[in-house]
Chain A
Amino acid sequence: MPEETIFHLTKEGLARIKKEYQELKTFKGAKNKEDLSPEYVVFRDDADFLETRMAELGNIIKNARLISLPPKNKQNIVSLGATVLVSVDGQDDEFTLVGHLEANPSLGRISNESPVGSALLGRKAGDRVVISSPVKTTYTIKKVIYGRTA
């Protein structure tokens, strides 16, 4: 959410957005306005909302930057797309670092621009990352995994 000019997206995230855009585009041009997947049905009765959403999706696709897998010798370092297994003040947890558009903390996907996400970037297994302001929280990175979707 900090800036909406570049959208870092996982391969799955970008595919999902392209699929939605295509489906809405097809729906917009169709004579039969009943055929729409249930997940997009909210746009069926509101032309303005459909236009707004299509413009939003078009802008995202235009400015998307695909999160790619880092080279093997750098896969021990946390970057976008990494799933990070951590111990936080003695409690195990795991997150996948994604761009703000795909972030959903309740599903374990945290934004690379959140305080924790940005502090983990560039760190590797064994590192201790301290977030302090003013409550001190220590994240110990136990493992960095790539290729897992949250």
Chain B
Amino acid sequence: MEELLNFLIEVGKLKGKHRRGWQLHQIKNPESTAEHIFRMTILAWVLGSKKKLNMERVVKIALVHDLCEVYASDLTPYDPLLPKDKNKIKQILKRWPKFTPALKRKKHNNKYKMEECALDKLIFKLSPDLKKEMKHLWVDFEKGLTKEGRFVKQVDKVENFLQGLEYWKKYGRIQHKLWSRWIKESLDDPILLELIKALEKKLYQGA
């Protein structure tokens, strides 16, 4: 039981871990990783119910997908380009980051390895069954091994987009046009696309 308690204490750190992407956009008191996981899990549940999916698996994948961030850095697509000067960061955020295909692969592989190590460290002392299950669910999310893993991967983007548009409405500091472009290149699930349509309709009214 002690190891389980230690694990829960470590997971609790995500409650206070502000998401870096929003900090870069200078959002005051931005959401934490735990808050992102919370709404994303609800989103995965309520929208996943409209599909023929194993809902227990969907919910568990959503809960596990960012646990690695207890120890891993919360990376953003802009990372290798970011200078220390805050004004220069603002300029960089105005355009979508562009990398060569080789650099995209390298970034992708490095992120995977870093997050896998972090997750392994977090779950190391859990019981073999629990450890195995959490690792498998995370690998499914990362690699899209099942319908559920592929669905939750897109839900993650939808929650991010929803939060981005909410911050844009509140603070106006988000390049919402870039985000809109990104989401329409990233999603192909019809139910999630329907939600995006409704979201844009709601948030752009009177914008």
Q: A113 — which chain B residues lie within 8 A by C-beta?
A: 188
* A137 pairs with B136, CB closer than 8 A: no
Number of A residues near B (Cβ < 8 Å) is: 38
* A115 pairs with B180, CB closer than 8 A: no
Q: Which of B134-163 contact A (CB under 8 A)?
A: 135-136, 139, 144-147, 150-151, 154
* B101 pairs with A150, CB closer than 8 A: yes
Mostly, the B contact residues are helix
Q: Which of A107, A112, A134 contacts B101 (CB 8 A)?
A: A107
Judged by a CB distance under 8 angstroms, whether A30 is at the interface is: no
Say which size band chain B's interface belongs to.
Answer: 35 or more
Q: Which of A2, A116, A133 contacts B197 (CB 8 A)?
A: A133
* A49 pairs with B136, CB closer than 8 A: yes
> What's the minimum C-beta distance from B74 to chain A, rounded to whole angstroms?
15
* B190 pairs with A135, CB closer than 8 A: no
Closest 9 CB pairs of A and B: A111-B188, A113-B188, A135-B180, A115-B184, A114-B188, A105-B186, A1-B189, A116-B185, A134-B204
Q: Beyond A53-B145, A114-B185, A135-B180, list 19 extra A-B contacts (CB 8 Å).
A: A1-B150, A2-B189, A45-B132, A52-B146, A53-B146, A56-B146, A91-B98, A105-B182, A105-B186, A106-B107, A106-B108, A107-B108, A110-B185, A113-B188, A114-B184, A115-B187, A116-B184, A117-B185, A135-B204
In the complex, 28 of the A-B residue pairs with CB atoms within 8 angstroms, ordered by the A residue number, are A1-B150, A1-B154, A2-B188, A45-B132, A46-B136, A53-B145, A56-B146, A88-B181, A91-B95, A93-B96, A100-B150, A100-B188, A101-B144, A105-B182, A106-B104, A107-B101, A107-B105, A108-B101, A110-B185, A114-B185, A114-B186, A114-B188, A116-B185, A117-B185, A117-B188, A133-B200, A134-B204, A135-B181
